């Protein structure tokens, strides 16, 4: 399958550079798959659109200020981007315990070899490159007067996506989070959840819609371009997920009772589908997933999908096309462009029913 099948042209001015002042005022394009129809709404209308017995699953990961600016001993500036702790792969507390040995992306990276040091916070903290991985990432050990989490909170910058062409601002620390974010570990937001407000969540509960949380720590691979020509040749980067046994039990009870499951975002979709066996039972409740979902995939758990609009040729767009059908999804994108929707992380949303 050719990657070019997932291309579309987006006017640059439709790439949202700023969030809306009110999260739930974003637009919502509702796509009804059986009818092949579209309708236009505001996000705060979601409780009135969903069936009252819907089970809604969100990703409660919290973005860490993963971009650290430091200096080499020569005075040259270096950007160190935290990717994931190197220790404890697969541990249930990944990665919130402030591991000091991390896999990182560094810029400029070519000159940073094992043994080199980068200094942060006026020299109170420093990191030493331990290893250069085949991926180009560096394994860096961090040292200082406290836990790495303290350095991150003191000097770290919010890792806004590269298509947001402005420096991060203090207000991005909370605006680039969902209102239900609690488990630190992501380096990118699960953007479908950025539209929710406490007001919308309460309205959903009032309608009888049950809301459950799982975790998938979004990695930088979410922005990794697909560089191969054939979709099947692309390799996904691993991301850590966990689903509590209690939540897994509630999901299986709901599905057994015929209640539809709405996944809030591609991250929830990948976590649930990674956890499921061929019968749709959630059996792999935590671990690392490199599941690549593209057209032809048979969904086992997810019945409805809420998502933002994604980059051309991206794995995220391929997942949405797998769920909604490539032709219908690309027609929906054309509709959104005609109607001047705002695209990508701080943009508007689409609901596939």
Same domain, 55 and 71: no
CATH at residue 131: 2.40.10.240
Q: How many domains does the chain have?
A: 2
Same domain, 240 and 310: yes
Q: What is the pLDDT of residues 263-316, one digit of tens each?
A: 999 999 999 999 999 999 999 999 999 999 999 999 999 999 999 999 999 999
29, containing H or E segment: strand 27-32
* pTM for the model: 0.92
Within-domain flag for 167: no
The pLDDT value given to residue 87 = 59
Within-domain flag for 310: yes
Same domain, 82 and 29: no
Backbone angles phi and psi of 246, in degrees to 5: -65, -45
Same domain, 308 and 213: yes
In the numeric block, which tokens belong to residue 67? 């971009």
Contact (Cβ atoms closer than 8 angstroms) between residue 351 and residue 39: no
Q: What is the pLDDT of residues 107-127, one digit of tens each?
A: 987 778 899 999 999 999 999
Same domain, 203 and 138: no
Same domain, 348 and 264: yes
Within-domain flag for 211: yes
Contact (Cβ atoms closer than 8 angstroms) between residue 292 and residue 234: yes
Helix/strand/coil percent split, the chain, to 5: 25, 30, 45
Same domain, 117 and 187: no
Same domain, 201 and 100: no
In order of 29, 115, 204, the CA distances from 136 in angstroms are 39, 16, 44
Domain boundary among 112, 128, 155: 155
Within-domain flag for 165: no
Domain boundary among 121, 155, 189: 155
What share of the chain in percent tops pLDDT 70?
96
Within-domain flag for 127: yes
In the numeric block, which tokens belong to residue 270? 């990948």
How far apart CA 259 and CA 294 sit, in angstroms, is: 25
> Given a cut of 60, is residue 343 above it in pLDDT?
yes
Contacts (Cβ under 8 Å, ≥6 apart) of 218: 59, 61, 63, 186, 187, 188, 189, 190, 239, 267
Same domain, 133 and 193: no
**Domain range spanning residue 266?**
3-62+172-352
Same domain, 273 and 333: yes
Q: What is the pLDDT of residues 17-58, one digit of tens each?
A: 999 999 999 999 999 999 999 999 999 999 999 999 999 999
For the ranges 149-158, 197-206, 238-247, 324-333, which has the lowest average pLDDT?
149-158
Domain boundary among 89, 121, 155: 155
- Of the CA atoms within 13 Å of residue 99, those in its CB half-sphere come to 21
In order of 51, 116, 177, 192, 200, the CA distances from 206 in angstroms are 12, 56, 24, 21, 10
Within-domain flag for 164: no
Same domain, 130 and 73: yes
Same domain, 34 and 182: yes
How far apart CA 168 and CA 160 sit, in angstroms, is: 7
Average pLDDT over residues 84-91: 60
Within-domain flag for 160: no
Within-domain flag for 52: yes
CATH at residue 326: 3.40.1780.10
How far apart CA 278 and CA 281 sit, in angstroms, is: 7
């Amino acid at each position: 399958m050719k990657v070019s099948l997932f291309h579309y042209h987006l006017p640059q001015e439709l790439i949202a550079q700023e969030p809306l002042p009110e999260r739930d005022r974003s637009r919502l394009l509702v796509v009804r798959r059986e009818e092949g129809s579209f309708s236009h709404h505001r996000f705060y209308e979601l409780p009135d659109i969903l069936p009252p017995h819907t089970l809604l699953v969100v990703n409660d990961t919290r973005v860490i200020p993963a971009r650290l600016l430091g200096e080499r001993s020569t005075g040259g500036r270096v950007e160190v981007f935290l990717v994931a702790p190197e220790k404890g792969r697969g541990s249930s507390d990944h990665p919130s315990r402030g591991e000091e040995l991390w896999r990182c992306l560094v810029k400029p990276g070519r000159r940073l070899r094992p043994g080199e040091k980068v200094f942060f916070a006026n020299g109170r903290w420093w990191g030493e490159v331990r290893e250069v991985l085949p991926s180009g990432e560096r394994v860096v050990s961090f040292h200082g007067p406290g836990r790495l989490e303290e350095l991150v909170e003191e000097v770290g910058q919010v890792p806004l996506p590269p298509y947001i062409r402005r420096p991060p601002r203090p207000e991005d620390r909370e605006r680039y989070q969902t209102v239900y974010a609690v488990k630190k570990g992501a380096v990118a937001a699960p953007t479908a959840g950025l539209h929710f407000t406490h007001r919308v969540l309460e309205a959903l509960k009032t309608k009888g819609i049950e809301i459950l949380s799982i975790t998938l720590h979004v990695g930088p691979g979410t922005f990794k371009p697909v560089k191969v020509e054939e979709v099947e040749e692309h390799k996904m980067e691993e991301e850590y997920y966990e689903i509590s046994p209690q939540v897994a039990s509630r999901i299986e009870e709901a599905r057994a009772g015929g209640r539809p499951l709405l996944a809030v975002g591609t991250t929830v979709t990948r976590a649930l589908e990674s956890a499921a066996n061929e019968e749709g039972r959630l059996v792999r409740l935590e671990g690392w997933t490199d599941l690549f979902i593209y057209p032809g995939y048979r969904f086992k758990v997810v019945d409805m999908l809420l998502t933002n609009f994604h980059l051309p040729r991206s794995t995220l767009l391929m997942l949405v096309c797998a769920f909604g059908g490539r032709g219908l999804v690309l027609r929906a994108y054309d509709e959104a462009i005609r109607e001047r929707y705002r695209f990508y992380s701080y943009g508007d949303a689409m609901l596939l029913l």
